Chains A and B, each alone.
Chain A
Amino acid sequence: MDLFLQNIVNGLQWGSFYALIALGYSMVYSILMLFNFAHGDVFMVGSYIGFGVATALLGLAAATGLPIPGWLILVLTILFSMFLTSFVGMFIERVGYRPLREAPRASAAITGLMIGIILETGNLAILGARRLSFPQLIESTTYQLGGVFVTNKKILIVAVSLGLMYLLHRFIQKSKWGMAMRAMSFDFQAVPLMGISINRIAPLTFAIGSSLAAAAGILYGLAYPVLDPYMGILLGWKAFVAAILGGRGSILGAALAGFLLGFIEIFVAWIFPSTLRDVIAYSIILLILTFRPHGFFGQAHSTQLRL
């Protein structure tokens, strides 16, 4: 029983990375009907930007001698990196997706894939193949609740990601920009006629998605403090699967499916040998998709591929 609860805690932590990344995929899909295949690498870039910002802030604190507490640095790092990474997202939209809006969708997918490769290789070329270790900004303390061990980092990770999801939900449901985004996802053709420019909504969507990915990257760095240029591939593609599982374009679905994928992976690794994790996790996903082809919350719309 304790192990079960322990795995639920681990699954919550692991799932929050997937959920945060999957949100980016899903938002872009709901607006542009495109998958941003570079998104996994935006997560990686966000993590590296977070590394840079955190190192710079730590250096600043050491240089000036100010006793800046670790949690403040962490908050500043998350906010600052989210801000910086949103420009990466907007840049990708500008160079890779806007010129291809009328092109076949597969071409845009290829462009995204190639931008991802450029981001990975660029990182490798600039920083070299050595792995960086993310600075530990907060002391790790372990609490024992019953038989379950919970570190403060785990609580922080889950809390921050849930908080960000709530903020996103508020933004999309309550703000004017969010309303514009919802309208755009409802009808891609008619909304520009109402004076809402797709050229403002699409960059905004990419910016929000990328900043969420950056937050995920920093949280990931807190939990697993080794950064390498290819970390975006594995997590990114799995988060993509989660985005599909949740239903294409559904924000709530993406978040839930992200957590579900995290649970599946953790529990499979608990019950079976951990090398079988991918086989079983993906087989479960295949099964779910066989019976619910549109995911949990996706609408059964027939998409005519523009090819």
Chain B
Amino acid sequence: MRNRTTTSAPAAGFRSRLRQFTASVPLIGWLLGIFGAVLAEYFLGDLVSYYLGLPKIPVLFGLLTVLKKPLLIPGILGYLVLVYAIPVVIIVRIMQKPANRLAEFLAGKRVTIAALVHLSLFYGALHLWADISDYRLLVLKLTMIAIMLTLSINVINGYMGEFSCSHPGFMALGAYTASTITLLLFANDKQFGPALLPEALGFYFFPLALVAGGIAAAVGALVIAIPSFRTRGDYLAIISLAFLFIVKSIIENLEFVGGPRGMSSQPDYANLPMVFTVMVLCIWIINNFVRSTMGKALNAVRDNELAADAMTVDTRRTKIITFLFGAFWAGVAGGLFAHVLRYVNPGSFGIQRLAEILAMVYFGGLNSVTGSIVGAVSINVLSEALRPLEIYKWIIIPLLLILVMLYRPTGLIAFTEFKPRELMRPKTTKGGE
């Protein structure tokens, strides 16, 4: 609180009051508020949007409509205030004390239990929010997959400090492996014939298919890792790039997975709870990984490989394991991706996808789990919001990224640690002004 000023100007007074207010609400209070707001939208959304003259409930906070029909902006703002802002503020205000007590209670429990409570509340809000339209559901799922991809590449490009270009390739390996398994075993497909196992089992075996996809990606990563971690520098960049082209080309030539036409009609297993669970697991495991001894060794290798070697870090082993780890999660994300879109072709795993993933990780911030989440969410939401601009979208997003690179070369939120317990701690007001 170094910058606290004692001016009595109304704006400053309001700001400090606001800061005081926000600082006294724990995370669970905000989650309750968001849940309430989403609940309000679920029941009153149609009514409110009707009276505000909106054609339907603004999907994605009206971001899509703003560019298309500027006349609706006042209505959308009114909707945002009425449906989101007011309920959040009211609930947060009322629940401040109980929420703090709840947070204190949870702080005494194991972090897993506390996190589960928070996450289930958050999931409830997301579920209700996504229930309004299919578009929201799709955007939400793709954003979650993007978070997984960004995190997994951050492990390699951020924490390890190499420059890997092969993430779309890992994604493709995961997507095709998982799709082949589900189509072969659980679906009556014209390419693979009738289902070998009862279709009812499919959903429960789907995580195994995802894991198999991840393992396929990790095996692919081994092909890169063995030759490329003998030297440092840009060597990995080029080998992984070649790998990306090879994978894409091999898939194009494999007739039994559809060749250039791709694979379609994967069973609809990747529903919201599934994607959410996998994403949470991914964040959890990667966060634990980078905060473990292994993660610290990794940062040491990045900052000075010789010194790390001298401090008994097995640098080669560390790098290879990390690379495989990152590739594994990229493969899992690829498997989910295939089952969310229910169509993949080799063209979706090319250089453009690579540029997209790199944009997300460098926008959000290297060496930071929070940064990855922020980067993935903001680039995804931005690219949805700018969709009405069509092609100009791909001028604005790169420009934005260049600006970020110029002013914050490592990304918006770089080099931070993501501490769940810190995030969930109770925030009691002590005295105040």
Using CB atoms and an 8 Å cutoff, list the residues of chain A in contact with chain B.
Answer: 35, 95-96, 99-100, 103-104, 106-111, 113-115, 117-118, 120-122, 124-125, 233, 237, 240-241, 244, 248, 275-279, 282-283, 285-286, 289-290, 293-294, 300, 302-305, 307
Contacts and interface: CB of A to CB of B under 8 A. Distances in A.
A169 to B, nearest CB: 25
Give the interface size class of chain B.
35 or more
Contact of B351 (A104, A111, A237): A237
Contacts of B362: 106-107, 110
Given A278-B249, A282-B249, A293 B231 contact: yes
A236 to B, nearest CB: 9
Contacts of A294: 231
B253 interface: yes
A95 B391 CA distance: 22
A282 B398 contact: no
A120 B394 CA distance: 9
B410 A107 contact: yes
Interface in B394-429: 394-395, 398-399, 401-402, 405-406, 409-410
Interface in B226-279: 227, 230-235, 237-239, 241-243, 245-246, 248-250, 252-253
Given A118-B398, A282-B242, 15 more contacts: A100-B409, A104-B409, A109-B163, A110-B358, A113-B355, A114-B355, A124-B391, A240-B241, A241-B241, A278-B248, A278-B249, A286-B246, A290-B227, A303-B233, A305-B302
B163 A303 contact: no
B161 interface: yes
Contact of B233 (A108, A286, A302): A302
A56 B235 CA distance: 44
A282 B245 contact: yes
A103 B402 CA distance: 13
B211 interface: no
Interface of B is mostly: helix
B157 interface: yes
Contact of A110 (B235, B245, B392, B401): B401
Nearest to A117: B398
B406 A100 contact: yes
Contacts of B232: 302-305
B410 A241 contact: no
Contacts of B304: 304
Contact of A125 (B227, B242, B395): B395
B209 interface: no
29 contacts: A35-B234, A96-B402, A100-B409, A107-B405, A107-B410, A108-B405, A110-B359, A110-B362, A111-B402, A111-B406, A114-B355, A117-B394, A118-B395, A121-B398, A237-B241, A237-B245, A241-B238, A275-B253, A278-B245, A279-B246, A279-B249, A282-B243, A283-B246, A289-B239, A290-B227, A303-B234, A305-B233, A307-B161, A307-B302
A104 B398 CA distance: 18
A113 B245 CA distance: 17
B410 A115 contact: no
Contact of A293 (B230, B253, B351, B394): B230
A233 B157 CA distance: 22
Interface string B196-214: 0000000000000000000
Contacts of A283: 246
B355 A117 contact: yes
Contacts of A122: 395
Nearest to A99: B406
B391 A125 contact: yes
Closest 3 CB pairs of A and B: A103-B409, A114-B398, A278-B249
A224 B140 CA distance: 43
Contact of A121 (B163, B237, B252, B391): B391
Nearest to B363: A110
A114 B360 CA distance: 12
A100 B391 contact: no
Nearest to B248: A278
A197 to B, nearest CB: 21
A2 B231 CA distance: 43
A201 B162 CA distance: 28
B405 A103 contact: yes
